[in-house]
Structure formats: C-alpha cells, structure tokens
Amino acid sequence: DTGVSQNPRHKITKRGQNVTFRCDPISEHNRLYWYRQTLGQGPEFLTYFQNEAQLEKSRLLSDRFSAERPKGSFSTLEIQRTEQGDSAMYLCASSPGTGGKSPLHFGNGTRLTVT
C-alpha cells in the first residue's frame, strides 16, 4: 500500500491552456474522489467514481472540467481553457467499498497556478 499518488505536484500554466492531472488511488479502493481546495478553505467536492462509473458531479464542475476513470483504477482530471479562478490545490482521495464508514485517504494534491 503506497498511498494515493497524484501527479504532477505543481503545474503552472497560462490562461486558456488545457491541463490534465492524474491520480492513482490505493489499489483495490473502489471509490475515487476529486476535491478542490483554495488557500485557507476546506476542500470542496468536485466529483466521485465508484469503480469506472462517475456517480456524482458537483455544480462546481463546469463544462470545462472533465474527469475519467476508464478502467476503474487511476483517474484523470482535465481542465480546458483554464482561467485564473481555477488556481487551487486539486486533491484526490480514495476509499474502499461503497462508502459508509470508510474514511478517505488523500494524496498530496496537485497545485495549479494559472497566470
């Protein structure tokens, strides 16, 4: 068990560019979550997957955002036409089973800076 891994750790991009982040959950964790966190705030839910199925998307996830988990293992989060307001830490987390009492195990996050 190597924990949740996120890549890259940091990403600086110019406004209007597309970016993609990757998350590798703890193996055999069925659920995978994406959160966004701005400085001094709590993580905000974006979306989550049960295996390869995307079960819920927050209204924070505009049509410029898309997330996939094609084989039920790793996941990618893509942001198209980035805006300065997208600058944040993007956190990935995973948990076993179908929810319930299992806490989320978080990765170190990907910090996005849009200039």
Partner 1 sequence: AQTVTQSQPEMSVQEAETVTLSCTYDTSESDYYLFWYKQPPSRQMILVIRQEAYKQQNATENRFSVNFQKAAKSFSLKISDSQLGDAAMYFCAYRGDKIIFGKGTRLHILP
Min separation Cβ 63 and partner 1, Å: 21
Nearer to partner 1, 58 or 66 (CB): 58
Does position 56 interact with partner 1 (CB under 8 A)? The reply is yes
Q: Which residue among 11, 36, 43, 112 contacts partner 1 (CB under 8 A)?
A: 43
Which one of 21-29, 43-51, 68-76, 77-85 is the stretch in contact with partner 1 (CB under 8 A)? 43-51
Instruction: Round to whole Å and give the CA distance between 74 and 91.
Output: 14
Does position 106 interact with partner 1 (CB under 8 A)? The reply is yes
Q: Which residue among 21, 33, 49, 90 contacts partner 1 (CB under 8 A)?
A: 33
**Nearest of 75, 76, 78, 53 to residue 64 by alpha carbon:** 78
SS (H, E, C) the chain: CCCCEEECCEEEECCCCCEEEEEECCCCCCEEEEEEECCCCCCEEEEEEECCEEEEECCCCCCCEEEECCCCCCEEEEECCCCHHHCEEEEEEEECCCCCCCCCEECCCEEEEEC
Does position 104 interact with partner 1 (CB under 8 A)? The reply is yes
Residues 60-89 vs partner 1: string with x where CB under 8 A? -----------------------------x
Tell me which residues touch partner 1 (CB under 8 A): 33, 35, 40-45, 48, 55-56, 89, 91, 93, 99-101, 103-109
